[in-house]
Amino acid sequence: MERQEARNIAIQSLLENTSNRDFFTSIFETYLNQGYNQENIPVPSLYFDNVNENNNQVFIEENVYNELLKIREITQRTNNEIPYFLIGYEQSNGAIVFKSILADVGNNSNREADFDNISDYLGAYLESIEESDIRKFGKPIICNGHTHGLSNVSDNFSFGDMISYITFKNNVRDYMQDTNRNGINSQIVDTMGMLMNPCGDFNLVYYDDNPQQIGFYKFTNVFLRTHDNKIVLLPSISENGNYIRQDGIRQTK
């Protein structure tokens, strides 16, 4: 899918299909009038509808969590964005578990997350998933994640992030179709998006392209699962975040 096509779909999802369409329309108007590039307009997932109740639990295993903390520390130190992929699965009860991570921390000189280098490995990474035992646990899911450096709107997703999640979903679907045409029964069934922002939250979103409910949805229950199976609630869209709210859109960059 071309980025312009994904841009049009993202605009439709935010400004037409969502129950908070008026709020998102006002955000776009405000920040465009301030001279923001459209892709840099902040999009607060605070005002996305929740995913369905069965799927609204995400567990990040401790090995993945520790790597995420290292990635966040690099961004805190350099103010550069770091891209990464998480691999997990959907359990029979609908909960999602992330077991492994792929990140490009060797080149962290970019202010904005650059998936070009890491995407070079994505095909091989997806193939390794097909050959792994992750399918024994549930239906595989891959998450496209990145960090944000510090700015006065960077606790929010950007509109460019939303576009990227749509194109990512379609790229993974194309991979599945290609492998299936080649006689391989691909089991990667869905994608998600994730932002680790400056305030310390772990924000995850889902883009649903089902025509009956097309749009972006947020996860509100995100947990760390330790090696000894303890469950710890992680901050997600917390009060610590500098999120744009309906009671007052900030007027400064």
Q: What is the pTM of this model?
A: 0.88
Whether 241 maps to a domain, the answer reads no
Q: What is the CA radius of gyration of the chain?
A: 18
**Higher per-residue pLDDT: 156 or 129:** 156
Whether 238 maps to a domain, the answer reads no
Residue type, 126: L
**142: which 2 tokens?**
């891959």
Q: Where does the pLDDT of residue 120 fall: very low under 50, low under 70, confident under 90, or very high at 90 and above?
A: low
Residue-number span of the structural domain to which 228 is assigned:
3-105+112-233
pLDDT at 253 over 50: no
Residue type, 20: N
pLDDT at 113 over 80: no
What per-residue confidence (pLDDT) applies to 116?
A: 47
Give the separation between CA 52 and CA 229, rounded to whole angstroms: 25
Beta strands in 51-189 (DSSP E): 58-61, 83-90, 96-103, 139-147, 157-158
Whether 58 maps to a domain, the answer reads yes
Beta strands 190-196 and 139-147, pairing class? parallel
**Higher per-residue pLDDT: 141 or 177:** 141
Whether 35 maps to a domain, the answer reads yes
Three-state secondary structure call for residue 203: strand
Whether 69 maps to a domain, the answer reads yes
Indicate the angle between helix axes 3-12 and 159-181, nearest 10 degrees. Answer: 120
**102: which 2 tokens?**
């792929």
pLDDT at 203 over 90: yes
DSSP 27-40: HHHHHHHTT--GGG
| Domain total in the chain | 1
Whether 243 maps to a domain, the answer reads no
pLDDT at 99 over 70: yes
pLDDT at 247 over 90: no
**Higher per-residue pLDDT: 80 or 177:** 80
**Higher per-residue pLDDT: 112 or 70:** 70
Q: Where does the pLDDT of residue 18 fall: very low under 50, low under 70, confident under 90, or very high at 90 and above?
A: confident
Can you tell me which residue has the tokens 């310390």? 200
pLDDT digits (tens, 9 = 90+) for 34-65: 999 999 999 999 999 999 988 899 999 999 99
Whether 251 maps to a domain, the answer reads no
Whether 245 maps to a domain, the answer reads no
Average pLDDT over residues 87-104: 90
